[in-house]
Amino acid sequence: MQRFLAGLDEKINPVAGLNTWHANPDSSSEKVLLIVHGFISSTRHLLEEMAAIGEGRTFLQAAKKRYRKILTFDHPTISVSPLLNALDLQRVLRDERADVDVICHSRGGLVARWWLEGLGGPAYGSHRRVIFVGSPLAGTGLAAPPRLRAALELLNSIGTALQRIAEFAAVASVFAQVAAALFSVVNSLLKALAKTPFVDGAINMIAGVSSMSRVGNNPDLTRLRVAVAGTAFDPQQYDYYAVKSNFEPEDVGWAFWKRFRNPVERLENWAADLVFRGPNDLIVDTDSMHDLSDAVQLPNTAERIWDFNTSKDVHHMNYFRQPKTIKFFEDTLFKR
């Protein structure tokens, strides 16, 4: 099983590790920007998403001038937990002599928190801004066996159909391509787990998934959240920010012909409604995206959280293509 999961990770992201995307040795700034991707993704994908819009290209050019280095951290997300990813990150960045700002997507937010809060982060530098984009800070219902069980059969049955729809109807759509890849991985996992009698036990065998499970007895999240609430860790030491959304496709009402538009998004949302108990961006519960612990929440202010609210356009896969997300990056990293 572990070899199979590691093989999936290598197929999705064959080049793992810390890389320098851009270096500016002449910069007067000593600050470093670190970009961390999420589940079954890559930093290359995040950079391509930003570069796909003018606002994103402008942001990246400005970041090259403002930071001494822009680093990317690519890591396995299925076969190992965020804590082990953070351990790898700590080994390579422990001696970094700079303030490190972080942009992290999805599961990458848990990697960043374990790195900074659990392992101490860099030995040098003091002020760090961290922007969590659609991150399951309190876990995600998608990885919770009690609710995931209800959706496994559905995902298995429509996975192949979704791939066909994505390839036929939206070849140019990044979301469709990523959705197809996502369901390809899900289908592979389902086939591999078909011989496992208990779904709960099967999910727990997948370290990269079970560590994000939104259940009360999740040992990874419990330890991380207790560390924030009950130890000497001071949330004010870190400037934490978040970007979140609740994705809901447009209500087509009696205009039934519109139901044939964007079929991938509609089927995705239908499946998500079986898994999540409340608002979500297709992958992560919306209220989890700013929930550090039972006692510590990110302040619900426009300065700390950019909230797309209920949106028919913004979901987990396309945050980095949104001009308002990029604007929030600029305001947070350049102006505060």
Least-confidence region, from 18-27, 160-169, 298-307, 317-326? 160-169
pLDDT of 5: 74
The residue-averaged pLDDT of 324-333 equals: 97
Q: Which residue has the higher pLDDT, 312 or 73?
A: 73
Among 43, 35, 95, 41, CA closest to 69 = 35
Q: Which residue has the tokens 């899900």?
A: 186
Is a pLDDT exceeding 50 seen at residue 176? no
Residue with the larger pLDDT of the pair 209 and 175 = 209
Task: Write down the CATH number for the domain with range 2-140+211-249+284-334.
Answer: 3.40.50.1820
Q: Decide the pairing of beta strands 32-36 and 69-74.
A: parallel
Q: What percent of the chain has pLDDT over 90?
A: 36
| Residue 331 pLDDT grade (very low, low, confident, very high; cuts 50, 70, 90) | very high
CB atoms within 10 A of CB 318: 19
Model confidence pLDDT, tens digit, residues 103-148: 999 999 999 999 988 888 887 766 689 999 999 999 887 666 555 5
Query: 3 Cβ partners below 8 Å, 6+ apart?
Result: none
pLDDT band at 202 (very low <50, low <70, confident <90, very high): low
Q: What is the model's pLDDT at position 81? A: 92
Per-residue pLDDT, 251: 57
pLDDT of amino acid 208 = 75
The counts of H helices and E strands in the chain are: 12, 7
Closest CA to 33 of 77, 66, 75: 66
Report whether pLDDT(55) > 90.
yes
pLDDT of residue 194 exceeding 70:
no
Model pLDDT, residue 268: 54
Return the domain boundaries, the chain. Answer: 2-140+211-249+284-334
Predicted pLDDT at 236: 57
pLDDT of residue 275: 59
Please give the pLDDT value at position 252: 43
pLDDT confidence tier of residue 242, bands split at 50, 70 and 90: very high
pTM above 0.85, yes or no: no
Q: What value does the mean pLDDT take over residues 23-43?
A: 88
pLDDT at position 233 is 47
Out of 47-61, 77-91, 188-202, 215-229, least confident range? 188-202
Confidence class for position 224, pLDDT limits 50, 70, 90: confident
Q: What is the mean pLDDT of the chain?
A: 77
Mean pLDDT lowest among 21-35, 94-108, 244-258, 285-299: 244-258
| Torsion sign (Cα): 21, 241, 65, 97 | negative
Angle separating helix axes 174-192 and 263-275, nearest 10 degrees: 50
Is residue 211 within 8 Å of residue 101, measured between CB atoms?
Answer: no
pLDDT in tens, 293-318: 877 778 888 899 999 999 988 988 89
First-to-last CA distance in the chain?
46
